Chain A
Amino acid sequence: MSPRTTPKKRSKPQPADLAKESKLPINKDLSKDDLVGFYRQMVRIRRFEERSLRVYQQGKIGGFLHLYIGQESIAVACASLMGEHDHMITAYRDHGHALAVGMSMDECMAELLGKATGCSKGKGGSMHYFAPDRNFWGGHGIVGGQTPLGTGIAYALKYKGLKGSCMTFLGDGAVNQGAFHESLNLAALWDLPAIFIIENNGYSMGTSQERSSSHPPEGLAARAEGYNMAWEHVNGESLFAIRDAVNRAMKRAHEEGKPTLLEIHTYRYQGHSVADANAKKYRTKEEIDDYRKNHDPLNVYRLYLLGKKVFSEDEMKEIDAAAKKEAEDAATFADESPFPETEAITEDVYWETDNPDQRVSEGRLFFND
């Protein structure tokens, strides 16, 4: 094959056609409650993120805070399709997924403040939310490091003979990590019910897709061809389009036990993390404004619901206000919650030390003298 020069460019945002996509088989029978429910979930995520940004600016949150604002349609659409044996795992931009699977704002906000009432008892922080009882396996801090774990969850489902899937989310910055490629190979080689979802927001921290990834003209997901894996490119502006594509991938997982690689075009308005001082330097203000004004998944969906008279302006405002209040209450809850006791530092390290009655090993497990 002769060398070719390929346009290593991220595709331009495409306007979604929600009216059309709402008629796709997976969407056409949605009730008003479903449709409004999706809106409520997206708004809840956005208000939570906005509130957590303020908490961060007040100096109450340590370390990093990676906001999901602009990407809400993805977590909400994917969570809406989850059945008993469908699972989710993601990277460090995990608040949206956590709320979408049903974790409470209280436990999530308290975790940001490092409080004992946090979902990880204040031991994980922003990047490490978990709710295995809701099939949500984190919340992982190392770029691409969660992809073998997601593959393993899919492996476990297959091993146990369960009809399920594991959606493994990653950013466009993770697609050049070896662990990701090894995961694609294993999932395809062993026919695992794995769905890898690239939330392509265009930037791996401050490095654009063009400067970080070589890929076929069709995009990052087309790399799946190399692993003989099904793939699709999805417009993240449309919650309906995401549901359609993810549903197809889930069916492939459930019925054929085969993996899929999805690339969802999306955008983040904030920096990589809140501490990303250069968030407006590696991209133009025009680009940010264009996405915000014309391609915002929440706004696009709101206008669709209003246009179709699924809900009224008043109902919409009520939902917004309720989400805002919920976030406000969560901030208060987090503020008023206690920090963990010092003893907590050495709890939750080993199963055995947390279950001393059932300990079978002997000897020392901690060395603090």
Chain B
Amino acid sequence: MPEISYRQAIKDALAEEIERDENVVIIGEEVAQYNGAYKVTEGLLDRYGPKRIVDAPISEAGFIGMGVGASMLGIRPVMELMFWSFAYVAWDQMINNAGCVRYMSGGLINVPIVVRGPANGGTSVGATHSHTPENLIANMPGLKVVCPATPYDAKGLMKAAIRDNDPVYVMESTILYGITGEVPEEEYVIPLGKADVKREGSDVTIVCHGPAVPVALEAADILKNQHDIDAEVVDLRSIRPLDEETVLESVKKTNRAVLVEENRPFCGVDAQIAYTIQNKAFDYLDAPIQRVSTIDAPAIYSPALEPEQLPNAARVVEKALAIL
């Protein structure tokens, strides 16, 4: 199986969907002539032309809202946000319009839009460019949100997102764009709402998603190599819809859970996961559920300190050891 980058995997997904469906159009800042701020769309303008790959002015509320409107008529816009942090500029369009139109019309109108872009810290760009709003999006019924962590997942989930008839918000990571992984040449789609066990183990379950997945895997390595502990790493992949079964199955096997995410702790995704575990697997728990989140403050700029603020393997290991 060929190894390709996370960036290439997304690009391949976009290209395949552009070729499959004439209504798929890529719109965003610098996606066409500039070849993408993070090169995800590099070369697509040359291949598909300016009708399918559209440079938008810096006008997020305008062009995202425009995409929502176009999707109501059956266009399938894939909107790139240079950073998910910029979503707040378009919040009314993304939440009130994309999220509520189907409901308020009694199901008469569908909004098959995808909004995608990176949502992560760790690159010393300060608080305004480091947001991870998957928890906020997941709080809005009507919207779906996925956070792929590997090239394989990124491609399969992106294709599912584009084919979905409801708004799907895809959160990528600038840290992950360069990582490589095996991706089959033949076509595949990963259904939204299906978690993936990234590493099997029997002693403790580490639940994670998005940029926290490599952190969890690194922690699992340390636990194995230094402490002879077998951690099972469950990657949620999709936040809403949510695969509770895979999480619960794992916890019922290991009887312990450490939840890792780049969200802040308060009302983070893992607050919901913790509730689900205690509600549905209470009798299986041998220890309190642990959480590792980004330290509860806006993202610090200082390149020396930011890695300390974000979840890291050492903090995950510490939490795991505390309950073993």
Contacts and interface: CB of A to CB of B under 8 A. Distances in A.
A271 interface: no
B106 A120 contact: yes
Interface string A145-172: 1111111110111011000000000000
A292 to B, nearest CB: 33
A160 B75 CA distance: 9
B63 interface: yes
A124 interface: yes
A349 interface: yes
B107 A145 contact: no
B138 to A, nearest CB: 9
A138 B104 contact: yes
Interface stretch (A280-288, A296-304, A358-366): A358-366
A364 B72 contact: no
A152 B68 contact: yes
Given A137-B72, A145-B97, A364 B106 contact: no
A362 B69 contact: no
B274 to A, nearest CB: 13
A258 B34 CA distance: 27
A128 B104 contact: yes
B244 interface: yes
B166 A352 contact: yes
B105 interface: yes
Interface of B: 23, 25, 51, 56-57, 59, 61-75, 92-93, 96-97, 101-110, 141-142, 144, 160, 163-166, 191-195, 238, 240-245, 272, 279
Most-contacted residue by chain A among B110, B240, B244 (CB, 10 A): B240
Nearest to B67: A152
Contacts of A89: 69
Contacts of B67: 152
B66 A148 contact: yes
A110 to B, nearest CB: 11
Interface string A11-36: 00000000000000000000000000
A145 B96 contact: yes
A348 interface: yes
Interface of A: 89, 118-124, 128, 130-133, 137-142, 145-153, 155-157, 159-160, 178-179, 182-183, 185-186, 189, 346-352, 354, 360-367, 369
Contact of B193 (A124, A142, A361): A361
Contacts of B57: 185-186, 189
B61 A179 contact: yes
B193 A362 contact: yes
Given A179-B61, A186-B62, A123 B103 contact: yes
Contacts of A148: 61-66, 68-69, 93, 97
Nearest to A153: B69
B104 A120 contact: yes
Contacts of A147: 65
B192 A363 contact: yes
Given A182-B59, A363-B193, A149 B69 contact: yes
B70 A348 contact: no
Contacts of B193: 361-365
Contact of B165 (A179, A183, A352, A369): A352
A367 B139 CA distance: 10
Most-contacted residue by chain B among A122, A124, A369 (CB, 10 A): A124
Nearest to A145: B92
A191 to B, nearest CB: 13
A362 B191 contact: yes
B105 A349 contact: no
Given A360-B191, A361-B191, A364-B242, A185 B68 contact: no
B69 A150 contact: yes
A143 to B, nearest CB: 10
Contacts of A122: 106
Nearest to A365: B241
Contacts of B93: 145, 148-149, 179
Given A152-B65, A179-B92, A128 B191 contact: no
A273 B205 CA distance: 55
Contacts of A360: 160, 163-164, 191
B25 A351 contact: no
Which 5 pairs across A and B sit closest by C-beta, in order of nearness?
A152-B69, A148-B65, A182-B62, A363-B193, A149-B69
Given A130-B104, A179-B93, A351-B165, A362 B243 contact: yes
A132 B68 contact: no
